[in-house]
Amino acid sequence: MSFTNVNSRIEPIDKPIVRFRLIIRECSKSPQTVKYQQSFRLTWRKDVRMGSSDMCLDVSEGGNRAKVAPFSCHGAGGNQYWKYDPAALTLKHGGNPRCLDADVDAGELFVTACQPGKSSQQWRWQRTDDKRLENWDADPWP
């Protein structure tokens, strides 16, 4: 089972519609079996945006298996700050060493201690700007 690509969708939980739950599913290589697909963008603001929306992956709690949830992008870093390591294929949250992880069976995205080589913590981007990634820490934003 490979977790390197995750299909997802956002679904309203309750009204008002500004509250969302992120649903994840294991990717399929067959386009006929994909029901929902969500694109993510690691932006120059160092946040991860969901498609073309103004929703970002946000971690608002500490501890092990801290929940990742969609939240309105604010561009100020902090709980929406992410850094991609193209060699390890990991997406680290903020200045701490917690990595984005997925439990497809439970349908959860969370951050937890990075474990080198753990497939559920490996993420592949369709396109990357290698030069930008090399200078990530030198870039003053945010």
The one-digit pLDDT tens for each residue of the chain (142 residues) are: 233 334 444 333 333 333 344 555 555 555 555 555 567 888 888 899 888 888 999 998 888 899 998 889 988 888 899 999 888 999 999 867 799 998 888 878 899 999 998 989 988 887 888 888 888 888 776 6
Rounded Cα distance, 97 and 129, in Å: 22
Residue at token pair 């649903």? 23
Residue 14 lies in a domain: yes
Is residue 8 helix, strand or coil?
strand
99 touches 92 (CB < 8 A): yes
The model's pTM: 0.73
91 touches 109 (CB < 8 A): no
Q: What is the pLDDT of residue 1?
A: 29
Q: What is the pLDDT of residue 61?
A: 84
Q: What is the pLDDT of residue 100?
A: 93
Q: What is the pLDDT of residue 110?
A: 93
Structure tokens belonging to residue 56: 């970002």
Residue 1 lies in a domain: no
Q: What is the pLDDT of residue 31?
A: 53
Residue 141 lies in a domain: no
Rounded Cα distance, 99 and 113, in Å: 6
Residue 130 lies in a domain: yes
Rounded Cα distance, 12 and 46, in Å: 26
Q: For residue 58, give the CATH number of its domain.
A: 2.80.10.50
Find the domain containing 30 and state its range.
6-134
| CA–centroid distance for 92 within its chain | 9
Q: What is the pLDDT of residue 94?
A: 83
Residues in the chain: 142
Residue 30 lies in a domain: yes
